Structure 1
Amino acid sequence: MAASDVCINDHISDVECLNESADFPVRNIFHNSEAPLKSDADHQLLIKIQFRQPVKISGLRFFGVEEESCPTDVKLFVNKPSLGFSEAEDTPTTQDLSLDPAQCNLMEKKDVMCPVKFVKFQSVNALILFVQENNGADITQLKKLEVFGTAAENSDITAWKPCKS
């Protein structure tokens, strides 16, 4: 099965974001909204994505609004849905991303994906993105976020039959 954007293929059961602006919530970046996601009190965001079933993630694609407000340092965590800002600062990450402006796909025609260490993202029930830094703006903005991967295969134990020798 080819990797697709698992966020738009009805794989998300819940999404929340800490420090999001009430007028520009996280749901905007998954529903082709003209309105972006914006941080509220400062530039940090903690985006929590819960999937309906385990997924294998191969990469992420960020779409920024302007260069100064694009994320630059993003920490990724797998299966830690109760993570808060203080834990995100201190907990070992699954992977750290350092984004350059090209990886923020500021022009709609850009198609730059950030690959992840595939072996560490094999059975993901929850993906947490901690946007720690941006390019110097007071707030962080994202127009769209795509998470690429496939549904993890589940074993159906009811179909199991013992081997006959």
Structure 2
Amino acid sequence: MSKTVLVSSASHFNQLLGSTKILVTDFYADWCGPCKAIAPIYEQLSAQLSRPQKVTFVKVDTERQKEVAQKYNVASLPTFMIFKDQHVVSTVQGADPRKLSELVKKIAAEADSDGLGGFGEASDSGTGWLGMGLPKGYDNVTDQVDVRGLDLLNADSNFGGARTLFDASKPSALQGGKGKGSAQAGEETKDWAESDTDEQLMLFIPFQSTLKVHSLHITSLPSKDIGAEADEVPMRPKTIQLYSNRAHVLGFEEADDVEPTQAITLQQEDWDTTTGTVKVDLRYVKFQNVSSLVLFVVDGEGDGERVRIDRLRVVGEKGSKRELGKLEKIGDETGE
């Protein structure tokens, strides 16, 4: 279903301007051949990049909405204008698919990263860096993670904790560095998590609202230091078990006796070679009303003794807000 909004009046356009950070506008006319030619590209961009209250795509029929077209001096068709915080920041005249696509994707990416606090705190501006594109019809809902209730078992304290995994920033390993500068001058914090005594990790993720979870994006960027032995190199997760709607984190022994909601085995070719990210598709029918997840990394890919995770993103749909406090178990954890 199209996410593009057809502007019905000048006041409607002004209302849209004030309700989103980025407004991508297509000024067109029904008689305009080039407008019709580029329309499918525009709709595709709209489906891929629309974000509630962040990036909105609209169409303005210049024959019907002459007041809007005149206000912004539209002299040729098609004309695409991109507004940021209610101000025009870019204009593309003519049906140039490549130029339009590059410009819109660039500004949409900026909208995802503008004004974000660290460590996954909820923000109206979004949840920052993404290692993979979003599937059509779903959003990055990582801002719904209740960071105050996160729990990560068997994590090496020399590395980042659970909040690090939901940090809004791009992993330092993708920026050519080994860590991020800390508050103490001359120090670096390792902005990823690694397991401690063995390759297993157990992460409890509570949410601020019930979610429909479509998939998880896990980023893991192991690096091999010169001279390091094979078993000293951290591994990417291989076998993962997920448990939905638990009231608290599971113990490792307890997990052996509890049937997971879903078990996943990742292959080496599943990982994106550029961002070090894998998309974990969930059995959507089993993750419809999710108040919490437990992610259990059972083992890693390789001969190492530790597993590394740099970032974790949650993709799906937001549901109703829950009252913070004790989590309630919702539905049958093992049934369809």
TM-score (norm 1): 0.82
The equivalent residue for 1:161 is none
**8 Å contact 1:66–1:106 — kept in the other structure?**
no
Q: Does 1:65 align with 2:198?
A: no
> Greater CA deviation, 82-91 or 47-56?
82-91
Q: Does 1:144 align with 2:311?
A: yes
The equivalent residue for 1:113 is 279
Q: Which has the higher strand share?
A: 1
Q: CA shift at 1:38, angstroms?
A: 0.7
Q: CA shift at 1:102, angstroms?
A: 3.3
Match among 243, 247, 250 for residue 83 of structure 1: 250
**8 Å contact 2:244–2:294 — kept in the other structure?**
yes
**8 Å contact 2:219–2:278 — kept in the other structure?**
no
Q: Alignment identity in percent?
A: 26
**How does 1:16-31 map onto structure 2 within 5 Å?**
16-24=151-159, 25-31=161-167
> Greater CA deviation, 24-33 or 126-135?
24-33
Distance 2:309 2:273 in 1: 10
Q: Mind listing any 5+ residue stretches in structure 1 that lack a counterpart?
A: 155-165
Q: Mind listing any 5+ residue stretches in structure 2 that lack a counterpart?
A: 1-51, 53-136, 173-190, 224-233, 322-336
Deviations along 1:6-29, whole A, 9 cap, x unmatched?
21x2x1112110011112212112
The two structures, once aligned, show a CA RMSD in angstroms of: 2.0
Q: CA shift at 1:123, angstroms?
A: 0.8
**How does 1:94-105 map onto structure 2 within 5 Å?**
94-105=261-272
The equivalent residue for 2:195 is 39
Larger Rg: 2
Aligned length: 151
Q: Which has the higher helix share?
A: 2
Q: CA shift at 1:111, angstroms?
A: 6.2
TM-score (norm 2): 0.42
Structure having greater relative contact order (Cα 8 Å, sep ≥ 6): 1
Runs of 4+ in 1 over 6 A off after TM superposition: none
